């Protein structure tokens, strides 16, 4: 096959991929669609194309003052427990999280609210690659456990994302200067960053 024919085929293939990707981006940006109405790929594109405006620089938890730190009856909240006692809301896509401490001293992250719960009584984890888990409820689901505190950060051995149906092979939680909780997940050599805002104190 002549070189110019190979180049033409290669260019046509690249153009097709670009057109498909651009179309998917356009479709994923339909704000009228919910996370359940988009495809998994549409949700991924939607996530990465959302504007972000927050600091990603880590700050040690001991330097952050949160509502529970100001209550005298609490005494001094240990740095590793700063994430406890609150509901945190994702900024790049709707969803709320509560952190809990397990008996072994590790932490876990539990979903407390998703936008689908406004329309559905009991939204399910229907994108889970494991067919046996697709009927489990999203509300109350633990998406990360075995989280350990180290050097001002919380290290997660995994983080499952129900909107994508993907499990990150590693996750990191840390505070920024504004008291936001920054969440970073890693998968296939890539990373994504999310910002959790404190929306409720639950003690």
Per-residue buried b or exposed e for 73-87, using 16+ beta carbons within 10 Å of the residue's own CB: eeeebeebebbbbbb
Here the tokens at position 185 are 């997940």
Angle between helices 40-48 and 3-28 (to 10 degrees): 80
pLDDT of residue 184: 95
Which is it for strands 96-101 and 86-90: parallel, antiparallel or unpaired? Answer: antiparallel
Higher pLDDT, 105 or 11: 105
Residue identified by tokens 């651009």 is 22
**Is it the case that residue 132 has pLDDT exceeding 70?**
yes
Q: What share of the chain is helix, strand, coil (3-state, %, to 5)?
A: 25, 30, 40
pLDDT of residue 48: 55
pLDDT of residue 164: 84
Task: Report the percent of the chain where pLDDT is more than 90.
Answer: 55
pLDDT of residue 15: 45
Task: Report the percent of the chain where pLDDT is more than 70.
Answer: 71
Higher pLDDT, 197 or 15: 197
Higher pLDDT, 127 or 108: 108
**Is it the case that residue 56 has pLDDT exceeding 80?**
yes
- What gap in Å lies between CA 105 and CA 184, rounded to an integer? 22
Cα torsion 110, 112, 113, 118 to 10°: value is 130
Q: Alpha carbon 127 to chain centroid distance?
A: 15
If you average pLDDT over each of 64-78, 125-139, 144-158, which comes out highest?
144-158
- Tell me the average pLDDT of the chain: 82
- What gap in Å lies between CA 106 and CA 99, rounded to an integer? 10
pLDDT of residue 65: 93
**Is it the case that residue 179 has pLDDT exceeding 80?**
yes
| pTM across the whole model | 0.77
> What do you get for the CA distance between the two ends of the chain, in Å?
70
Lowest mean pLDDT among 15-19, 41-45, 123-127: 15-19
């Amino acid at each position: 096959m002549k070189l110019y024919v190979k180049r033409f085929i290669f260019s046509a293939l690249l153009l097709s991929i670009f057109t498909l990707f651009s179309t998917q981006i356009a479709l994923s940006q339909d704000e009228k669609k919910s996370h359940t109405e988009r495809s998994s790929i549409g949700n991924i594109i939607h996530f990465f194309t959302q504007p972000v405006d927050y600091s990603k620089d880590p700050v040690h938890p001991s330097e952050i003052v949160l509502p529970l730190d100001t209550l005298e009856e609490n005494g001094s909240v240990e740095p590793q427990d700063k994430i406890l006692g609150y509901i945190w809301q994702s900024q790049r896509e709707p969803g709320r999280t509560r952190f809990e401490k397990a008996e072994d001293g590790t932490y876990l992250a539990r979903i407390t609210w998703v936008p689908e719960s406004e329309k559905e009584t009991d939204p399910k984890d229907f994108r889970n690659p494991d067919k046996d888990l697709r009927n489990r409820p999203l509300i109350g689901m633990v998406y990360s456990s075995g989280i350990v505190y180290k050097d001002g950060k919380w290290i997660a051995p995994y983080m499952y994302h129900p909107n994508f149906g993907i499990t990150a092979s590693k996750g990191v939680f840390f505070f920024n200067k504004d008291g936001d909780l920054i969440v970073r997940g890693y998968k296939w050599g890539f990373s994504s960053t999310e910002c959790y805002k404190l929306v409720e104190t639950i003690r």
